[in-house]
Structure 1
């Protein structure tokens, strides 16, 4: 792991994500962090000041805010960490800006915070994050607003058992397990009352063939709320990270749709790592 891009809009949840990512960078021996603010995507309310005047002053204020965040992150890193922090701001749309930086800096990971409402599904409400989740070709780590970094000892890989051998990025999952020194828990959740798929057993065999080298635990369950079941499982097993592979925007709609009451009540402090499908 060489370079991590951290996106920020200077909200408290984004600042927390930056702190989390910085601790992660230090623990996995990343070389550099690119702290990025796209001021074209500025939200209505932020926790650091932004001016509402000409673009040059907006850029100047963006750099000032980035330097404030950098100072805090350098305290997190401590002396002689070996991790450099680089500041970038522009008025590009968020996805375009990140893609350009990823190519320029050869980035391995992008980190974004939630909107501050706490639930994993809330991250998918904002159009910017949905765009990143569905279109970004790099791994995307989404950090809940209340997450505090601790060494990750268990990783939950939530999979849907569809075209397993063609879509599962086995090598990348293995790299993350090695970086973190973590155990792997494989979880498949199917909807209750869903008609049995005759291909499921064969896909399970394929999954075992691909992942048995990492000596994981396998768990197969049913629920009427897939997202809730994944979150509950991860919490019950003290997992520090949930990994999944987005197949499409529709996947997110199905996985994270909940009732309003559950959205308000249920919270998760577990970050979500989105990996890309393996290219055939």
Structure 2
């Protein structure tokens, strides 16, 4: 992995995502980091000084704030690091800005904080992150506000048996297992009380055919709250990362669009990596 983009809105959650990504980048020998702020998304609730300044000066203020973030990032990386850090700021909508940067710099990953500048009691997850998760084609790593990077030894792949197919991003999953030198735990959680159909056996065969190459552990469970069950499983098994596919499982919707989740956001330490289905 050569290049990662870290998007920041200068909130506490975004600052934590920067620290997490810096530690991870150092661990897996990333070559360059693009720190990106889209000031099109600017509002008054920020943890760095963004005052009521005239539009021509917004870019300068944004760049100054990025430089402050860069200083903290480089402190985490240490003096002898070889990671190059680049600052980019513009007034593009966040998704468009990231897509253009990703194409220009041939980026491999985007990192974002799990919450934006809004008060957590009012908004579960920053709307920008929701937009990225719904539309971004690159892998997106979402960092909980209280997560601290530790070497990742186990990865949970949360999958829906009904949607296991050849579009499952097997190559991308394998890439992350190799980069992190981690063990794969494959987890399927069905809704409590839902009747198991005969087709489920065939779906299990499909899943094994795709994933057995990684020699994973397979786990099955039931719950009325699939997202919470996945999170409990990851924490209980000491997993440092959850991988899922937003369009399969309905997991993303369950995770971020229900009522405020004390468990997943306030207490969770497990980052979430969203991968895209492979093109047919």
Partners of 1:46 and 1:136 lie apart in 2 by 24
Matched, 1:272 2:268: no
Corresponding residue for residue 105 of structure 1? 105
TM-score normalised by length of structure 1:
0.92
Matched, 1:144 2:140: no
The alignment partner of 1:166 has SS state of: coil
The alignment partner of 1:168 has SS state of: coil
**Contact (CA 8 Å) 2:124, 2:260: kept in 1 or not?**
no
**Contact (CA 8 Å) 2:153, 2:181: kept in 1 or not?**
yes
TM-score normalised by length of structure 2:
0.92
Of residues 102-111 and 248-257 in structure 1, the stretch that sits farther from structure 2 once superposed is 248-257
Give the drift of 1:41. Answer: 1.0
Give the drift of 1:263. Answer: 6.2
Give the drift of 1:232. Answer: 0.3
Paired residues for 1:141-220 under 5 Å: 141-220=141-220
Q: CA distance change for structure 1 residues 253 and 13 in 2, over 3 Å: closer, same or farther?
A: same
User: What is the root-mean-square deviation of aligned Cα atoms in Å?
Assistant: 2.2
Partners of 2:80 and 2:67 lie apart in 1 by 19
Give the drift of 1:208. Answer: 1.0
Is there any run of 5+ residues in structure 2 with no aligned partner, and where?
Answer: none
Q: CA distance change for structure 1 residues 172 and 72 in 2, over 3 Å: closer, same or farther?
A: same
Partners of 1:265 and 1:7 lie apart in 2 by 19
Is there any run of 5+ residues in structure 1 with no aligned partner, and where?
Answer: none
Q: CA distance change for structure 1 residues 262 and 18 in 2, over 3 Å: closer, same or farther?
A: closer
**Contact (CA 8 Å) 2:160, 2:248: kept in 1 or not?**
no
Partners of 1:261 and 1:88 lie apart in 2 by 33
Corresponding residue for residue 7 of structure 1? 7
Partners of 2:90 and 2:68 lie apart in 1 by 17
Partners of 2:135 and 2:265 lie apart in 1 by 30
Give the drift of 1:93. Answer: 0.4
Q: CA distance change for structure 1 residues 79 and 261 in 2, over 3 Å: closer, same or farther?
A: closer
Give the drift of 1:186. Answer: 0.5
Partners of 1:130 and 1:269 lie apart in 2 by 19
Paired residues for 1:1-280 under 5 Å: 1-115=1-115, 122-123=124-125, 126-247=126-247, 252-260=252-260, 262=262, 267-280=267-280
